[in-house]
Structure 1
């Protein structure tokens, strides 16, 4: 019978069979990307990036309006379908509340994506040195569309949360309260909290990988697009906060 130390060594050997090829493939892919960047030339990449940025800046107000309509419409449709299901529910069939929860979660997902994309487009669309009145007009349109989108999204989120509270009277919290997240979690039962914890851990794992990939792209942008180190610094700070909060909370809960 193997000792615990031998079991650990065997497990490590099995894992290395996959780890080493992955590292080699990643290195080869990175080398190929580097060679392509050199072949294309730094100047050409910078010109292409500048032209793309200029186009996105001009189109940002309209892209923001389009994505806002798509995501807010989808979220509101999920809310309306949930409202109809709740109105028709007799209080007995257990499948109906599950269907409502799924639709409301889809609505919240759409609203979250809308928030991320709208902030991105707002940042891309702001030209701090507009050369003519067209640039000024674009910025004004962008600001108006952004604010309207924010208010509509919050309104839909409030509808979603209120519907969930109607279905679950024990739920507490208002989306307009700055302590909404903590109050909502306090009102969840143990099964719901476990779902949140599992989802949060999955998000932690995926985000760790995402930080690494985004940092690599930011580093390549420094070398070949002349973007400067700010993006890498900012990503590293966020990455550090991300893992530090997780580790600190783990230590705190272990006491």
Structure 2
């Protein structure tokens, strides 16, 4: 078989796969649409109950998220500080590599956890704002305090972690409070670290692209059948959390494969 025939066959197979995926997507969309239409009343009631419950317990939920932010930040920072101390006092290459892996593990948990908690705080606070009149002004104010505190804790932890990494590796440059931080930080990374960052970012991007398309469809259905309202907030929060988790997972996975060793 000539090369031209092979290329033609590959193109035909690619087109067939695209058509099959389109047909599958149409079938899934039809099933979801019919199911949503049939269960419209029950779903509306369920969503209304969830929205009401979150709105009633906004302050409590934000307080819990604030406490979790503090706990995760303190635990992960102290773990990291202890590992950095051992790293700086060690002259054994194998031990330093093991300490590097431990530090990456706790740093990954802290950075990912604090980011996810921040996204959840934003979503819960948005739910708390919905449907509140003057009588709910005090609740909104208290919720805003917890929301801002949770955001401040996450920001302080992430800035402190950057300085902690620079303490462990003085070659890392960048001020976390500077708008040019990401550029300066990546420039100071070696080629292997850049590869890990770029590969994990691309994986998160590809997942996010598909997820956003699905989110748009869900938001359209939400607007059609349930009045929309907070559907977009829920979907954007889910998208942000999933992309954060995907990036974190692939950074950890690439590290275990030895790409950053």
Q: Which residue is equivalent to 1:150?
A: 151
Q: Which residue is equivalent to 1:245?
A: none
Q: Which residue is equivalent to 1:26?
A: 25
- Please give the alpha-carbon distance, in whole angstroms, between the structure 1 residues aligned to 2:5 and 2:139: 66
CA RMSD in angstroms comes to 2.8
Deviates more, 1:57-66 or 1:145-154: 57-66
Q: Which residue is equivalent to 2:174?
A: 173
TM-score of the superposition, structure 2-length normalised?
0.76
Contact 1:46 1:226 in 2 (8 A): no
Q: Which residue is equivalent to 2:85?
A: 87
Contact 1:174 1:180 in 2 (8 A): yes
Contact 1:72 1:111 in 2 (8 A): no
Note the alpha carbon deviations across 1:115-165, whole angstroms, 9 max, x for none. Answer: 211111121111464252xx2222011111011111211221122111100
1:104-253 map, 5 Å? 104-127=107-130, 129-130=132-133, 132=135, 135-227=136-228
Contact 1:127 1:139 in 2 (8 A): no
Q: Out of 42, 66, 69, which is 2:67 matched to?
A: 69
The runs of 5 or more residues in structure 2 that have no matched partner are 237-261
- Please give the alpha-carbon distance, in whole angstroms, between the structure 1 residues aligned to 2:79 and 2:11: 50
Q: Which residue is equivalent to 1:49?
A: 47
CA shift, 1:46, in A, is 4.0
The runs of 5 or more residues in structure 1 that have no matched partner are 236-255
Count how many residue pairs are aligned between Structure 1 and Structure 2: 230
TM-score of the superposition, structure 1-length normalised?
0.78
> What secondary structure does 1:173 align onto?
coil
Q: Out of 103, 120, 130, which is 1:100 matched to?
A: 103
- Please give the alpha-carbon distance, in whole angstroms, between the structure 1 residues aligned to 2:91 and 2:63: 40
CA shift, 1:6, in A, is 2.9
> What secondary structure does 2:57 align onto?
helix
